[in-house]
């Protein structure tokens, strides 16, 4: 497997950290980090190029109009409707 000429630091949430695709990316030269790595200070948030997880949203100037949608999705996840 060839190494990537432009490696990224990718933060993955615990829910998906065990996916085999991340081992493949690491073998190609990308740095895969988890929340545990942040807690023990082996990497800082400023070093992360990409955040991946079930509730992650890409948010930059181009996606700014989607902020209300991201907040709504976060609320649905945190405060699910009660089933009666």
For the chain, what are the domain ranges? Answer: 9-78
Rounded to the nearest 10°, the torsion over CA 57, 48, 32, 69 is 0
- Dump pLDDT digits (tens) for 5-57: 999 999 998 889 999 999 999 999 999 998 777 777 777 778 888 989 888 87
Cβ atoms of 35 and 13 within 8 Å: the answer is: yes
Cβ within 8 Å of residue 32, ≥6 positions away:
10, 12, 17, 22, 25, 26
Q: What is the pLDDT, as a whole number, of residue 58?
A: 79
- pLDDT range class, residue 1, cuts 50, 70, 90: low
Q: What is the pTM of this model?
A: 0.73
CA 12 – CA 34 distance, rounded (Å): 5
What integer pLDDT is reported at residue 18 of this predicted model?
A: 92
């Amino acid at each position: 497997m060839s190494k990537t000429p432009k490696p990224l630091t990718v933060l993955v949430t615990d829910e998906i950290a065990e996916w085999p695709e991340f081992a493949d990316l690491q073998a190609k030269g990308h740095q895969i980090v988890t929340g545990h790595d942040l807690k023990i200070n082996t990497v800082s948030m400023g070093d992360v190029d990409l955040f991946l997880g079930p509730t992650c949203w890409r948010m930059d100037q181009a996606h700014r109009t989607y902020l209300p949608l991201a907040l709504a999705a976060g609320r649905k996840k945190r405060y699910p409707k009660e089933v009666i």
